[in-house]
Chain A
Amino acid sequence: MDSWRDCFLVRWVWQQLGCDPPNHSETRTVYVANRFPQHGHYVPQKFADNRIISSKYTVLNFIPKNLFEQFRRIANFYFLIIFLVQLMIDTPTSPVTSGLPLFFVITVTAIKQGYEDWLRHKADNEVNGAPVYVVRSGGLVKTRSKNIRVGDIVRVAKDETFPADLVLLSSDRVNGSCHVTTASLDGETNLKTHFAVSETAILQSVANLDTLKAVIECQQPEADLYRFVGRLTLREHSEDIVRPLGPENLLLRGARLKNTKEIFGVAVYTGMEAKMALNYKSKSQKRSAVEKSMNSFLLVYLIILLFEAILSTILKYAWQAEEKWDEPWYNQKTEHDRNSSKILKFISDFLAFLVLYNFIIPISLYVTVEMQKFLGSFFIGWDLDLYHEESNQRAQVNTSDLNEELGQIEYVFTDKTGTLTENEMQFRECSVNGIKYQEINGKLVPEGVTVDYVDGASTSLTLEEELFFKAVSLCHTVQISHDLSDDCVDGLRFSNGISTQLEYYASSPDEKALVEASRRMGVAFSGTNGDVMEIKILGKLERYKLLHVLEFDANRRRMSVIVDSPSGQKILFTKGAESSILPHAKSGEIDRTRLHVDEFAIKGLRTLCVACRRFTPEEYQEIDQRLHDARTALHQREEQLADVFNLIEKDLELLGATGVEDKLQDKVQETIEALRLAGIKVWVLTGDKHETAVSVSLSCGHFHRTMNILELVQQKSDRECAEQLRQLDRRLKEDHVIQHGLVVDGASLSLALREHEKLFMEVCKNCSAVLCCRMAPLQKAKVVRLLKISPEKPITLAIGDGANDVSMIQEAHVGIGIMGKEGRQAVRNSDYAIARFRFLSKLLLVHGHYYYIRIATLVQYFFYKNVCFITPQFLYQFYCLFSQQTLYDSVYLTLYNICFTSLPILMYSLFEQHVHPHVLHTKPGLYRDISKNALLGFKPFLYWTFLGFGHAFIFFFGSYFLMGEDTSLLGNGQILKPNRQLMFGNWTFGTLVFTVMVLTVTMKMALETQFWTWINHFVTWGSIAFYFIFSLFYGGIIWPFLHTQDMYFVFVQLLSSGSAWFAIIIITTACLFLDVVKKVVYRHLYPTSTEKAQLTETGSGINCLDSMCCYTGGETACVSLRRLLDRVMGHCTAPRVTRCGTSLNSLCCQRFSYKLETDEPAALDD
């Protein structure tokens, strides 16, 4: 018992630390219904319970774990150290000054993370507490989902989700099949059929199941949704029957049961070991370029800080060398001070200076950036322009960390199918037995025959045609929806002709198009009944027993079925890419078909070849055996299967080829053109054939007709490839005038990448468009990585819609998923998801541009304002014998970053629009203005830093001279009491500097702001007002809990001085003067294109007053203000005032149109 507890404790600790206990054995053994063998060798295995824990924290460990997580951040850790130093040594600033902001930052982050975790807990509890039915002790027991143990038999009813990964035992159907949809797992909406092992399929009742004695052996949990290898051993009449288990037997947690009344399954993977849970693993963190420059800025400031601290310490000791400065008669040291160790004193002095100047590192930078990113990212989802009406999908932000990276893209890698094209397949042409056919008005017309010839219904098909379409309608994974007929789920359905109402569902749009086309031609697939496929040939039903399915995979690029034809012959039908079929074809019109396939490709059609193979009974027997062996193998099953498949899919008889058209998406050409104008290079990476790819490339504007298209295709050897590359390079260098496009295929690419990366990159960079065809998914990622790590380190973006794009999406700096037809996998792995390719231009050119400008200014401004803040403190040390006396009061030190100057910059970084979005969108060239991290480069950084230091000098010396040029007298004639002449002390001096600083820093932000909504007005003037109100309040009371009352009435005294006001005005103006001059001069003499674009707007005509209030088109602010006044005074009728009133309340002017768009009616009455 004790040892068990220890074990439990250890496990608990391990779990809390996020480590799972290591799995020792390679397989797990599951005893169905937990009926363990009474005797014999039996090693109990421990499995996770069925609790899903997506939350990171519990109530108990939240505080320590969250703190630990947060202090792993270097900035937070730095401030923690500063805080601890303050606690330890005698420093001029109280620990509160850095403790409170740190506490604030930590709390804000903790609240955000706590809230998110609370939501996760709620979701977890809902899932874990969901009622489930489990077969226990001979009956059906209702329990909670979290109580399911591995080995339990679970009953799931129709439309319920599976509570754990279950091995299907039986369904209400005789053949033990059931349908599921995995929409929530991978987004594929088609129905998938899963099967029970025939021996258990008959156990359709609880009583029957109770007699089952079986053991399942399967692999340890792994994340791949489509892989499952296991073995079911049944003990029946004291003899063991072994059956293989594969993915088709496994029902995944999270999938939903469809069209089946109920199923029984045994839980094999539970809780966090379920495949769904294993897929929760967070993606690797991507960091944006801005974040990297932020960190290097931080480093620079850290060096400045150290330098200032060291300099101050050295100067302090230089001064102190003389007794009269070290210890004058009026300022004696205590005995303790005198006797303390010199070295310790030196260190503590250094630390004290470090603490004094530590605010130069902006503590709230990270939390503000985080908030900006989090809040700012909502605008993407909210954007109507990124909303796709037809599919009812809005843009989706999966990570807000990369918002600004959208403004930095230099290379776009795009998939073709489903990204540039609709992925809406239309069957166009086919080639059967060497004859080319076209589909015209739903009729198959051979080449050369005029259309009017075929008018009536297709009466007959030639034998070849029939076989071809039979192949097409048998060799697929298409499902038929039975949703309309709920009561027909008993497996006896569609026995008579209702083919026209049939709805096909398929994960591959190509297959769907082909099966549909085949139906139009008279060979209709009408459903499967158990393992019998039914097709109707011109109304005549034929049943084919489905013997084997050789599933599609990306390496083979083909799929096959083996069926038992009504005549009893075993036939293999296979279909796939021409490159993987033609080489294996032995008979049929190979050459002419090849010719036709090429013709299709040139037209931009997607091509597939169809072939068959007839087996003799002996052959089939051997194949059947080998397939069975391979499928039941527990080790290296994939490899063995691949070998068998290759053995089967050879000596094919070529039947023909199909050509399917994929329509281009809307405005692809314009989008690609806009991206190119924005200085972004577009690469198309596709798995399609060379000719298809080129023709699509041409039609979507990726290649121009005027472009000189270079080719690097079908390179067989390394040397050949290198030679070709060199040749291309030469041609590129010779001919600068014309634009070049490059076509590379997968095979040549891998050759080029293996040895000649540099040369290849050289060629690529000189081409304005690159097209890579015949690419495998991993190759796509490889290309992206190659560019990513090239010396220029360009920022890359990958966009795609399918599972084959996932690796590239994850590899690129920014990954964008298209919410298309090929499931959700790309969307789930992407950083952003949009519904259409054309949205990319707004996402990059407008949103990306804004986010970049906003965050770049945010970062620069933060460093600027902290330099302004702390440099006067440094300068003051020169006037107080480096005694570490602070210039500002502790409360001001504390609140500067978190109250007085935090909101204007945050609001700026949320709302700034330096150029109208329409202009940004229509002038893609503006994107170049911010490329290469232009606003966070070395020069802008220097500019802001020097500006900060300059301003700090002006604050300090301005106050110094103006308030006491040759003496420290602060001359002050109070207007109210002219015969009084009061003295100002050091705190007044500090407060003057601080006041000037708050004003200047806020006004500097105001100068940067070019888009003044009422929110900006509110926070800017509000911050200043808050500072004044707060200071009056703070200085107006003798605070009982404060140690000293230094600030008592200081602020009031300062403001009652006329000179102080004049000083404040001139210092603030002088600070901003040079900045304004610089801005104006640059705007007029060296305008950037962005600045020029700002002029092209017709000034929108909104003046400052108007922007503080809402108004409808044509109304001025004064009108609405008056209304508000009227309302306050009770003069106005309610409906009239609600306009401005509600809009002010709801933070936005609901339905109020923008003045530029006066043609849009200001609809506010719905």
Chain B
Amino acid sequence: MRPPSRSFANKHEPLPSQRPDNTAFTQQRLPAWQPLLSASIVLPFFFLVGLSFIGIGIGLHYSSNSIQETEYDYTGTLPGEACYECAVSAAKFCNCNITFNITEFFQGPVFMYYELSNFYQNHYRYMISKDENQLSGYLNSLKNPANECAPYRVNFEQKPIAPCGAVANSMFNDNITLFYNENGTYVEVPLNGKGISWWTDYNLKFRNPIDGNLNLSEIFQGTAKPNDWLTEVYNLSDDPYNNGFINEDFIVWMRSAALPTFRKLYRRIESGNFTNGLPAGEYQLRIVYTIIISFQGRKKIVFSTVSWMGGKNPFLGIAYLVFGSLCTVFAIIMLIVFLKYQGKIDDDI
């Protein structure tokens, strides 16, 4: 119903006070776009989305497929496997070697990951078991870790543990080196352990405690290493910029994984003769086997190249392809249905 039109001509006569304002807002007549989800709009849109998603899907699938990835399980649960001895022995240090062949050239840079399965880094009790202040280098927290760290807060001597907590305690500390069989002799492949953590974690979030001119080992005096560690935190590396709390392996471990099966970046292969990648041939992984495997999971080493969209991820491409096709098929079916029923619908409307 149209509101009674009123003339604005008569300015002298004051409007009655009760009269509501005749504005678009009060009369609910704000100009508005009123889209209708009708077939004529939706079908072209479906076609567009469907086809473009198929296109994207093909692209993603291709680039995911172009990524080379290979993995080696070194858990050693079965007798006869290379690391079986280490897995069952109680020794603290145990060496085992795995020899394997790469049949195709791995286009560099190549990334090396370790993968653990059935390891619940996302367990609530586990995840809260750390002291962020300690890791940020606060001296108070170093000597007096947060209660959340319990039972990994103090060691049997009641000395404060640094870094405290379950997360730090269970850090992956197998030491893995890679050798390339170059004409019968094993040449060590240079592995780069730097630049594997988040820039912000390494530079801002994790800080070593500073106390005057004391060096790291002096500052950590009076603290204990985590129970399951082999070495003190200030002895993780010779490189002072990769030692203590800012050790990148440590930082990588501290970012707890979302799911019980996870990979973490271990090393990058990007220097020496292997800057361009790993040539085909025989390789050997030399592992210092330390982490206790009673977590019922598997341990793997993964080599992977990388594309613009990240690591190997076939699902994204497949999802786009499937959804794009679905969209197109739906669009076609609906088109047919609507063409067939067009007359009837028109009658109805």
Contact = CB atoms under 8 A, between A and B. Distances in A.
Interface stretch (A296-304, A611-619, A706-714, A1012-1020): A1012-1020
Contacts of B263: 967-969, 983
A960 interface: yes
Contacts of B51: none
Contacts of A963: 258
A1073 B331 CA distance: 11
A1043 B132 contact: yes
Interface size class of A (residues with CB under 8 A): 35 or more
Nearest to B25: A1148
Contacts of A331: 120, 123, 125-126, 129, 166, 170
Nearest to A1043: B132
B2 A968 contact: no
A1166 interface: yes
Contacts of B32: 911, 913, 1011-1013, 1016, 1100, 1102, 1107
Nearest to A885: B124
Contacts of B345: 1084-1085, 1087
Interface in A793-830: none
Interface string B190-226: 0000011110110011000000000000000000000
Interface in A1099-1156: 1099-1100, 1102-1104, 1106-1107, 1110-1111, 1146-1155
Interface stretch (B83-91, B177-185, B239-247, B305-313): B305-313
A985 interface: yes
B348 to A, nearest CB: 7
Given A379-B26, A967-B261, A986-B256, A394 B18 contact: yes
A971 B20 contact: no
A151 B34 CA distance: 68
B38 A1083 contact: yes
Contacts of B195: 980
B20 to A, nearest CB: 5
Interface in B106-152: 109, 111, 113, 115, 117, 119-129, 132, 136, 150-152
Interface stretch (A142-150, A653-661, A1074-1082): A1074-1082
B31 to A, nearest CB: 5
Interface stretch (A30-38, A442-450, A1062-1070): A1062-1070
Highest count of chain A CB atoms <10 Å: which of B2, B18, B33:
B33
Nearest to A1094: B36
A382 B20 CA distance: 5
Contact of A965 (B127, B197, B315): B315
B290 interface: no
Given A331-B120, A1057-B310, A1154-B29, A387 B34 contact: no
Contact of B24 (A383, A1079, A1149, A1163): A1149
B124 A880 contact: yes
A879 B348 contact: no
Given A379-B28, A392-B18, A973 B310 contact: yes
Interface in B297-327: 304, 306-316, 319-320, 323, 326-327
Contacts of B109: 979
A880 B151 CA distance: 20
Contacts of A1080: 37-39, 42, 334
A1069 B46 CA distance: 11
Nearest to A1012: B33
Interface string A365-397: 000000000000011011111010100111000
Contact of B261 (A968, A971, A1044, A1069): A968
Nearest to B342: A1084
A243 B169 CA distance: 99
Nearest to A966: B261
B103 interface: no
A1123 to B, nearest CB: 16
Nearest to B21: A382
Nearest to A959: B258
B339 to A, nearest CB: 11
A913 B33 CA distance: 11
B331 to A, nearest CB: 10
A1082 B348 CA distance: 13
A1084 B35 contact: no
A967 B302 CA distance: 11
B274 interface: no
B258 A985 contact: yes
A911 B294 CA distance: 61
A1150 B2 CA distance: 17
B3 A969 contact: no
Question: From DSSP, what is the main secondary structure of chain B's interface residues?
Answer: loop
Contacts of B289: none
Contacts of B29: 1153-1154
B19 A394 contact: yes
Nearest to A1112: B31
Contacts of A342: none
Nearest to B130: A1044
A961 B319 contact: yes
B334 A1081 contact: yes
Contact of A981 (B5, B292, B311): B311
A185 B128 CA distance: 66
Nearest to A386: B20
A965 B28 CA distance: 50
Nearest to A964: B259
A1010 B36 CA distance: 7
Contacts of A1013: 30-32
Given A384-B20, A968-B259, A1154-B24, A1015 B311 contact: no
B252 interface: yes
B323 A1070 contact: yes
A329 interface: yes
A1076 B42 contact: yes
Contacts of B8: 1163, 1166
Contacts of B53: 1066, 1069
Given A335-B151, A385-B3, A911-B28, A983 B20 contact: no
Nearest to A1015: B30
Contacts of B334: 1077, 1080-1081
Given A1062-B56, A1149-B24, A1149-B25, A1048 B205 contact: yes
B258 A965 contact: no
A885 B18 contact: no
B80 interface: no
Contact of B268 (A880, A885, A979, A1102): A979
A883 B315 contact: no
A1100 B29 CA distance: 12
A1025 interface: no
A71 interface: no
Contact of A332 (B49, B152, B326): B152
Contacts of B122: 879-880, 883, 885, 986
B30 A1014 contact: yes
A979 B270 contact: yes
Highest count of chain A CB atoms <10 Å: which of B32, B124, B196:
B32
A1141 to B, nearest CB: 16
A1058 interface: yes
A384 B120 contact: no
Contacts of A1147: 25
B315 A962 contact: yes
B23 to A, nearest CB: 5
Interface string A259-300: 000000000000000000000000000000000000000000
Given A333-B151, A842-B1, A1062-B56, 8 more contacts: A389-B4, A913-B28, A975-B308, A983-B264, A1058-B310, A1073-B323, A1080-B334, A1084-B338
22 contacts: A330-B169, A331-B125, A331-B126, A382-B21, A384-B3, A389-B19, A963-B258, A967-B261, A981-B310, A981-B311, A982-B198, A986-B127, A986-B259, A989-B258, A990-B258, A1010-B35, A1045-B132, A1045-B205, A1066-B316, A1104-B35, A1147-B25, A1154-B24
* A-B pairs, 8 with minimum CB distance: A971-B311, A1148-B25, A971-B310, A968-B262, A330-B170, A989-B258, A1107-B33, A382-B26
